[in-house]
Structures are given as structure tokens and as C-alpha cells.
């Protein structure tokens, strides 16, 4: 499941727990991202992974990919928070292949990630 995290109006933030399904994306993530794009014309996104990637169903991965493609030029900043070095490295490399800045953070750095996505700090 995915829960939306309350944040400032210029970002959307989520926490993934247990199994993440296509319905989670359709009912929680996509409506929030669509609303943000209408309000700001860009996407600032934060996702806390409190589950293993293996718990994302195929339908969830498909909806995630479709969302990314649909709004390819709208991505500004995206933070993925996980204690997995592989996920952090993958996220950091994403900036080289798609528009926008993508950065992985450790869970202990949640506040830093949130401030970065909100645009309050720059990463050196």
C-alpha cells in the first residue's frame, strides 16, 4: 500500500508499505501527481520505501512507468528514500537518462530529502 504524506503544496510525497499494487498507483499516486502538475506545472516527488521492491506488483511497476512517461518533461526533483545502496545508486543515476534531478537518500536523511525536494536546499 501507498500512503500520501502531508507536505507543502509544491511537492507530493508518499510512503510505500507492504505490497504495492496497481490500485495504489491509480487511487493514490496518480491523482496526487496529476493535481500537482495542474497546480505547479512540474513534479517534485518524494517516496519513502518502507518495503522491498519485490513487494511492488507488475501492475504497480507499469503504472509507475506510464506516469513517468506521461509527464516526462515535468519532473523537477525526485527523492527516493531507502537504506538500500542499490536503490540509492540507481536513483542517483536516473538524472543522466531523464529530465529532472533524481537523488537517493538514506532513511536517516528524511528531513534533508524533504527540504531538497521542496527546493529549500541544494545538494553540493
Mean pLDDT by 10 residues, the chain (124 residues): 94 93 90 95 94 80 70 88 90 83 95 94 81
Query: Which pLDDT score is estimated for 72?
Result: 79
Please report whether residue 78 resides in a domain: yes
**Domain total in the chain:** 1
Query: Which pLDDT score is estimated for 124?
Result: 65
Contact 46, 113 (CB under 8 A): yes
Query: Which pLDDT score is estimated for 25?
Result: 85
For residue 90, give its domain range. 2-118
Query: Which pLDDT score is estimated for 94?
Result: 77
Please report whether residue 124 resides in a domain: no
Q: Which three cell numbers stand for residue 83?
A: 537504506
Interatomic CA distance for residues 80 and 47, integer angstroms: 5
The CATH number given to whatever domain includes residue 87 is: 3.30.750
Amino acid at each position: 500500500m501507498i500512503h500520501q504524506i502531508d507536505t507543502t503544496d509544491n511537492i507530493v510525497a508518499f510512503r510505500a508499505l507492504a505490497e504495492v499494487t496497481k490500485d495504489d498507483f491509480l487511487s493514490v499516486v496518480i491523482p496526487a501527481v496529476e493535481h500537482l502538475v495542474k497546480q505547479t506545472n512540474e513534479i517534485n516527488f518524494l517516496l519513502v520505501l518502507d518495503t522491498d521492491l519485490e513487494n511492488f506488483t507488475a501492475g504497480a511497476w507499469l503504472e509507475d512507468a506510464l506516469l513517468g512517461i506521461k509527464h516526462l518533461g515535468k519532473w523537477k526533483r525526485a527523492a527516493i528514500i531507502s537504506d538500500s545502496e542499490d536503490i540509492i545508486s540507481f536513483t542517483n543515476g536516473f538524472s543522466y537518462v531523464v529530465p529532472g534531478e533524481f537523488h537517493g537518500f538514506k532513511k536517516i536523511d528524511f528531513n534533508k530529502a524533504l527540504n531538497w525536494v521542496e527546493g529549500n536546499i541544494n545538494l553540493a
